[in-house]
């Protein structure tokens, strides 16, 4: 069963429904023991980096998540759930992230004709071969984004897919069985369901 981590930061039920639509059982839990015993984890999230990290610590989930990722179980971070995998964020300079993927979370620079947040459909370009997350997804497929900040991994090989909003940015990361996506697969219609599957 897939365990979706509830840390009071977002659209948990829509993520759960997405997995159920492609035939997977998924439970929502904020219980540390459930996380510690999970065989696969999803960390969704909408909101601020600092708030997210404070909630994870308050619930006693920070070290539990790190330990499960170190075990190598399948892990998917979505939106804020991707961003907290990095070292820190320009959004909350006083807070450190989980530090699983070295790098920083940076803010999009506003420009004439380009609003922040980046909101809406955008294309994916793949930068890792044989990534199982995108096995059924054609290059250039559109997915749905809502974010003002983006992950900037230190090691380019951690970037699994890119998109462009004024400049190229990491739309997805991968390290072994750890995956993170900046877009919302649960809001990305048929292509998003293929990614969840």
pLDDT tens-digit map of 22-33: 999 999 999 999
Residue 71 CB neighbours (<10 A):
11
Range of the domain at 73: 2-196
Q: Does pTM surpass 0.85?
A: yes
Q: Could you tell me if 21 and 193 are in contact, meaning their C-beta atoms sit under 8 angstroms apart?
A: yes
Provide the annotated active-site residues. 79, 184, 186
Q: Could you tell me if 175 and 183 are in contact, meaning their C-beta atoms sit under 8 angstroms apart?
A: no
Q: What is the pLDDT of residue 134?
A: 96
What are 18's two structure tokens?
Answer: 């997405």
Q: What is the pLDDT of residue 20?
A: 97
Spell out, as residue ranges, where the chain has pLDDT lower than 70.
none
Q: Could you tell me if 134 and 149 are in contact, meaning their C-beta atoms sit under 8 angstroms apart?
A: no
Q: What is the pLDDT of residue 111?
A: 87
Backbone dihedral angles phi then psi of residue 136, each to the nearest 5 degrees: -105, 15
- 7-27 pLDDT, tens digit per residue, is 999 889 999 999 999 999 999
CATH of the domain at 184: 3.40.50.880
Domain count, the chain: 1
Q: What is the pLDDT of residue 72?
A: 97
Q: Long-range contacts: 50-54, Cβ < 8 Å, 24+?
A: 50/89, 50/91, 50/92, 50/94, 50/95, 51/9, 51/92, 52/7, 52/9, 52/80, 52/83, 52/84, 53/84, 53/92, 53/95, 53/96, 53/97, 53/98, 54/95
Task: Return d(Cα 136, Cα 131) in angstroms, integer.
Answer: 10
Nearby residues of 177 by Cβ (< 8 Å), 6 or more positions away: 72, 73, 74, 75
Backbone dihedral angles phi then psi of residue 55, each to the nearest 5 degrees: -65, -45
């Amino acid at each position: 069963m897939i365990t979706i981590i509830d840390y009071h930061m977002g659209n948990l039920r829509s993520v759960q429904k997405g997995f159920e639509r492609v035939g997977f059982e998924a439970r929502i839990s904020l219980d540390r023991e459930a996380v510690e015993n999970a065989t696969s984890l999803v960390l969704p999230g909408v909101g601020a980096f600092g708030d997210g990290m404070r909630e994870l610590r308050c619930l006693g989930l920070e070290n539990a998540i790190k330990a499960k990722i170190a075990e190598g179980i399948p892990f998917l971070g979505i939106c804020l759930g991707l961003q907290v995998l990095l070292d820190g964020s320009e959004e909350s300079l006083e807070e450190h992230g989980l530090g699983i993927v070295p790098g920083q979370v940076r803010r999009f620079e506003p420009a004439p004709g380009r609003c922040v947040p980046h909101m809406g459909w955008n294309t994916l370009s793949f930068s890792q071969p044989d990534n199982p997350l995108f096995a059924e997804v054609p290059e250039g497929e559109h997915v749905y984004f809502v974010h003002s900040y983006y992950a900037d991994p230190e090691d380019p090989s951690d970037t699994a897919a890119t998109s462009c909003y004024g400049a190229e940015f990491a739309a997805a990361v991968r390290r072994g069985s750890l995956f993170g996506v900046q877009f919302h697969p649960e809001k990305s219609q048929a292509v998003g369901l293929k990614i969840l599957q």
